[in-house]
Amino acid sequence: MATGPAAADTLTEAMVAASESNPTLAAQRQRLNATREALPQAWAAALPQISVSGSASASDRDSDNPALEGDRTETWSSSANVSQLLFGSGRVVASTRAARAQIAGAVADYELASQTLLLDVTRAYADVRQAQAVVAARETTVSNLTRLFEYAQAQFDAGVVTRTDVAQSQARLAQARTQLVQAQGAMAAAVQAYQRLVGRPPSNLTPPATTPGLPSDLQTALDLSVDNSPVLISAMADTRLADANVDAAAAQGRMNVTLEAGSSIGADFDDDDSESTTDSVGVRVSIPIFQGGAIRSRTRAQRALRSASNLDLAAAQRGVQESVTNAWTGLASARAAVDSAREQVQAAELAYEGVTLEQETGLRSTVEVLDQEADLLAARIALAQAERDLVVAERQMLASVGILSIPSQSGGIIEDQDGLRGR
């Protein structure tokens, strides 16, 4: 099946396309929408509860004893009831706090999923570019080795070199062709990974621009992570949720005051004078006296969970600190690796040109030229790997502190049709 050319030629466009079409992120967005409904549900307990009901019935008594037989009766009735919570011992307040904490945690989880997707897209984008560079390097190697093999064969025919030189060239050429096929297979896999995330195949991927907003030093990165890391925000929301759950569990054992009112009307279908109406209004006060210890047990359980959530927060803080530090170290290493790899490629290209010229004058053997070609290929592959690692390391640094996003200057605007923020 033929596919049209991809429109995502830059990393920014790929990020926009993935954010708009990725089903995993869309599923997380719907989970967030579901969590947002916890707040209206918590509010509902503090609002009036109104219900209406109606019924109609017919009865006919039959008996062998004529004295017990009755006439057929057909009756109807309807009622309306209203109740309003007046005092719930903090139950509604606790459930509202819990709902807000759930929403804050869900927003943080969505932000984490979004940044994880952007980082995965970056990896896929960089992997495709690396695979393309490796394939190009191996194609160049195959071309160079083909020329060397033909040169060695001509030299052998002229009686200048031995058959060993021809065999060495032929073996290296066969190996290079095999490695080229393997590189093409790796590139096909990279393309499929990219298409899975972005939703369309890559086309003419340009080198990513320098990442804006990188921290200037490690301490700045650590300070940024405290306020922006979705992992920490989610962990702090969990502690607030656990604290609210403790209050909600304790409120179950306290006084509850409800205002209740009702009205009912009923009559016989065949007797208009039988209609009767009943109205009532009152206050219901309920205080649990003894529940077998269940309420106290649930409260103790929630307190234990609150302690666990505080410990989870401490663990998350340590994990984020480790992640940020490793990302900063990895970024510094990636920058140094790119500089070194570029120097290596320049030196290897110069050496290859020199060895090739020296071979033509008889100063270098065939195997020396073959070895230098291998060194040049290794340098080009190392440069492709280093450039890929730098692109990923820059975005990994931003993701570790929680500020990885689509560059605003791209012009790609993702409409927030689902209202992703909590109320």
Residues 52-101: tens digit of each pLDDT: 999 988 877 666 666 555 566 778 899 999 999 999 888 999 999 999 99
Residue among 230, 203, 196, 202 nearest 23 (CA): 196
Span 157-177, average pLDDT: 91
What confidence score (pLDDT) does residue 381 get?
96
pTM of this structure? 0.83
Residues 239 and 105: their CA atoms lie apart, in Å, by 10
∠406-409-411 over CA atoms, to 5°? 85
Chain segment 24-59, per-residue pLDDT in tens: 899 999 999 999 999 999 999 899 999 999 998 887
Residues 159 and 264: their CA atoms lie apart, in Å, by 118
What confidence score (pLDDT) does residue 62 get?
64
For residue 74, what are the CA distances in angstroms to 56, 268, 275, 277? 7, 6, 12, 17
